[in-house]
Amino acid sequence: MSRSKERSAGASATGRRLQTVGLFVTLLVVAVLVGSLAAGLVRGRGDAPPGAAGSHGVTEAAARSGERVRVEVLNASGVAGLAARGRTLLRDRGFDVVYVGNASGYGPDTSLVLDRVGRVELARAVADEMAIHRVYARPDSNLHVDVTVVLGKDWQAMNHSAEVEQ
């Protein structure tokens, strides 16, 4: 083979490599753009439900990051179904209620909200939604929740008065 044919064959092979690399880079860029779009759409589903006021529901910081605020609702009042009503209210406002049950070791008259992960702003957001004034930091990593709500008879009374007004 002459030198000019060798050069032309080498240039042709180099051109094919450059084409392959260019195609690979283009596909990579398209994949990143599609992935970003999909991630943005998925994150948007974690926002407050349609029709919820901007001041209600999950804290702004949690909503922006797509973070789920995990809440347990406990009934200390002895009034049947109170925790289930609390669950419904919180879920309607964008919180992820992962457990509902009865509380022991708490007074039956007074409602409170406990911060379980060292992020009191999450507990305050839950307390604000439920019109509960007592918020305490009681971290407990064994619970696998961010916030614990303990409902007493005072919340049951407030809940009934709100239902009558509507």
For 103-131, letters b (16+ CB in 10 Å) and e give: beebebebbbbbbbbebbebbbbbbbbbe
pLDDT of residue 162: 47
pLDDT of 100-159, one tens digit each?
999 988 889 999 999 999 999 999 999 999 999 999 999 999 999 999 999 999 997 665
Band of residue 95 on the pLDDT scale cut at 50, 70, 90? very high
Per residue in 7-45, pLDDT (tens digit) is 555 567 787 888 898 888 888 888 877 777 666 655 444
Question: What is the Cα–Cα distance from 112 to 130, expressed in whole angstroms?
Answer: 10
29: Cα within 13 Å, side-chain hemisphere: 6
Distance CA 145, CA 156 (A): 23
Domain 60-165 sits in CATH at: 3.30.70.2390
User: What is this structure's pTM?
Assistant: 0.60
